Amino acid sequence: MAAVVVSRRPASFDTAGVLAALKERIANYKVPKRVFVVEDLPRNAMGKVHKNVLRDATRAPSRRPAGRRRAEGRAGEGARAGGQAAGCRGTAM
């Protein structure tokens, strides 16, 4: 888990102090492992925070070996035999 903190002076922000204060006030499993200090949050045209951009920017490096990828899709997905979707019946004319 990571925390993103907005500060007007990110260079002088005390991340160790914030983590120490959090450790005193909240449960250990809730304390973020990393703290990122930014001047402003990424926002879209409507002014809402771009959460996906923040997630991508703060994501920890992958622990999977470089040569392996996850399997595409799940077993049993896709069209059924005859081109019909699950739960659909053909109509007689």
Cα torsion angle, 79, 71, 56, 30, sign: positive
Beta bridge partners of 16: none
Distances (CA, A) of 77 to 12, 40, 52, 82: 52, 42, 27, 14
What per-residue confidence (pLDDT) applies to 72?
57
- The span from the first CA to the last CA of the chain, in angstroms, equals 58
Residues 6+ apart with CB under 8 A from 32: 1, 2, 3, 19, 22
What per-residue confidence (pLDDT) applies to 89?
58
Q: Mean pLDDT for each consecutive 10-residue tract of the chain (93 residues)?
A: 86 89 94 90 93 86 62 54 53 53
**Which domains can be identified in the chain, with CATH numbers?**
2-61 (3.30.300.30)
pTM value is: 0.56
What per-residue confidence (pLDDT) applies to 62?
66
What per-residue confidence (pLDDT) applies to 75?
57
State the amino acid at position 31 in one-letter form: V
* Chain centroid to CA 19: 21
